[in-house]
Structure formats: C-alpha cells, structure tokens
Amino acid sequence: MNIPSGLTSTQKGKVNEYLVAASILLASSGRLSPFVPISDDHGIDLIALDKVSHRSVCLQVKSAVASAKRKTVQFDVQKSTFRPEPNLLLLAVLFEPTTVSVGTSWLIPMADVPSVSVEQAGKYALSPSTAMSSKDRYQQYRYEGPHALVDSLIRQFDAAAI
C-alpha cells in the first residue's frame, strides 16, 4: 500500500501517531494506555501510561514509510521542541506499507539525541540503517515490531518501580 500523495505531511504524521498509539495499546494487551495531548506545541505527540506502575513517559513520534530502495531513513528533531528531559523519549518508527503496521522502531532518550545525530541548523538529524543486521550507533535503541517496542517500554517502567 502506498500512502496517498494527496495527504499533507501533517495528515500523514497524525495518522502515523494514531497507528503507533493503537499498536502500543494492542501489543501491551492493554497494560499501556496511550494518550494524545490536545496540543503538540512542546514536541510531545503521545503519553504512554503504564496501568501497573502508574508511571508515564512522553513520546515525540517521528515516522517514515519503509522502502526496499532505502538503506537508511532520516528522522529530524527540531531544536525548537527538543528538551533533554528523562521522561521524554524519541520514538522513530518505520512503517511497513504492505501490512500498514509498525515495523522497526528506535526508542531514544531525548538526552541521547545530540550524541547520536548530526546537528544541523535548527534540527538534529538521525539516520539509522534499515538493515536488521546493522551495527550502527542506533543499534542499542532498535526494536523489531510493536511487541519488542512495548517490551522495552515495560522494562523501563518496571525498572523505575524498584
């Protein structure tokens, strides 16, 4: 499936945020509840609440559509919305167009973004490899599919509860 070219980048972004939210809810069997802020003027697209620990994390979601032609994908974090807070994570998602689902994702603490990106005027550019076997600087943040992503979030919540 190709994303219709008639959609604006804002529409594509919002659709992808809702697909991520639904994937988090489904892959966690309801343990994680994603919330969408009324306004995303602070770079927060989703808030994930863990119903077990009652902790939450804020997520800035960036997305791209997978293509066999690309060896890397670029995600940009605008400096105007960048805040290196411990409760704020970048969730970069590569969507699989044939299944309209979350494929590979990278869950990166915002504090790590400057050290794993290329700083450009007004933004931090992150370019992870799309290859599963990649040993690039993004490997430690990489998850294959929504279940692996959710497992990582739950591990973070469980570790914080100690």
Whole-angstrom distance, CA of residue 112 vs CA of residue 38: 27
Reduced to 3 states, what is the DSSP secondary structure of residue 28? coil
Secondary structure (DSSP) of 65-120: E--TT-SB--EEEETTT----TTEEEEEEEEETTTTEEEEEEEEEGGGHHHHSEEE
Domains and CATH numbers, the chain: 9-160 (3.40.1350.10)
Q: Are 137 and 121 in contact (CB under 8 A)?
A: no
Per-residue pLDDT tens digits for 115-128: 999 999 999 999 99
Per-residue pLDDT tens digits for 61-83: 998 887 778 889 999 999 998 99
Whole-angstrom distance, CA of residue 139 vs CA of residue 132: 9
pTM: 0.90
